[in-house]
Amino acid sequence: MKKYNVAVVGAGLVGKKMVEVIIERGFPFKDLKIFATREREEVIAGKSFLIKKTTESSFEGIDFAFFAGTEGEKGASLEFGWKAVEKGAIVIDNGGDFRMHPDVPLVIPEVNSEHLRKNKGFIANPNCSTIIMLMAVAPLHQKYRVKRIIASTYQAVSGTGSKAVEELENQLRQYIEEKPFTISVYPHRILFNILPHIGNLSDRFEGYYTEEVKMLLETRKILDCPDIMVSATCVRVPVFNAHSEAITVQFDVCPDVRKCREILMSSPGVKVVDEPENARYPLPIDVSGKNDVFVGRIRRNTALENAIDMWVVGDNIKKGAAQNAVQIAEKMIEMELV
């Protein structure tokens, strides 16, 4: 098997998880380098890595460059992404800067891998909440054709990064020790609270935050369906890892709930846990660290025609970011696009 020179740009939660996933999945790398904003040595996945400062010359001889990105911030791919492509690397970017760029495929390998054939050396990872949602919705779309999606998300603090995880931990200690709360990452306390606020207010859709708009625009691009109607309310919850989503999907025709369950049970990367009579349904505490997206509470919607409701949970750092990026590279190798 051919082996590839691989670079990971970013050494935060997602960057480290990318390295772990590359090793865990046995990705065929010859050399694995990590770049970030400053040089340092760190142990990742039980191995010691010298993390080097990112420069244009970092991408000489690199076959795959994974950019970790940070939601809500301008990523390193803005400065180095296309320069890496010019040096011969295939860039797979987890950041949000190029997702809607017309020359950049936006790919979930289990959903729209055919879009990889249109790549110009730069591929984008969708937003974590979009990936988790469409892993459950897309297989049903193939059968019944989606008309409308209404989603409410319950997103873990790890989606904001390591500082948010630390803030939740610190606030828990402060609560126990009866000390004043430190509030810096979020506009309000996150401990024992929920915040209907992820991202910035959109200048395109009045009253919506940018995380909600991503789910609309990215869904249309991934499914090649510019007319699909999507409305989302994205909420930050005091959970360390794994995003949960309550999703209502309306189809062009009436779906059979039993058939929907069968379709999802046979869909790659999806696991069905749906025994409400036994209180068995996906929970973030169980799904954190898992490769698949889990679906339960599949039932007919009582307010809309041709609609079902689902409860969908996925690890936002793993499948929602790092693993999806590595799967894109694996799929490109499989499709002989490298």
Distance (Å, rounded) from C-alpha 12 to C-alpha 1?
Answer: 30
| The dihedral sign for the CA sequence 83, 87, 88, 94 | negative
Q: Cβ–Cβ contacts within 10 Å for residue 39, how many?
A: 11
End-to-end Cα, the chain, rounded Å: 13
Number of helices (H), then strands (E), belonging to the chain: the values are 9, 13
Q: Are 65 and 4 in contact (CB under 8 A)?
A: no
Q: Is 197 a catalytic residue?
A: no
Structure-token pair, residue 5? 């020179």
128 in catalytic set: yes
Of 115, 234, 243, 260, catalytic: 243
Contact (Cβ atoms closer than 8 angstroms) between residue 136 and residue 274: no
Buried/exposed code over 45-58 (b: 16+ C-beta within 10 A; e: otherwise): eeeebebeebeeeb
Using a CB cutoff of 8 Å and minimum separation of 24, what contacts does 53-58 make? 54/9, 54/80, 56/80, 56/83, 56/87, 58/7, 58/9, 58/33, 58/84
What's the CA gap between 239 and 84, in Å, rounded?
36
Alpha helices in 6-76 (DSSP H): 13-24
| 230 Cβ neighbours under 8 A, 6+ residues apart | 148, 149, 150, 151, 215, 216, 219, 220
Rounded to 5°, the CA angle 143-146-149 comes to 140
Element (H, E) at 297: strand 293-300
Per the residue annotation, which of 128, 141, 234, 260 is the catalytic one?
128
Q: Per the structure block, which two tokens stand in for 27?
A: 């990705």
- Distance separating alpha carbons of residues 128 and 154, to the nearest angstrom: 12
Q: Any idea which residues carry the catalytic annotation?
A: 128, 243
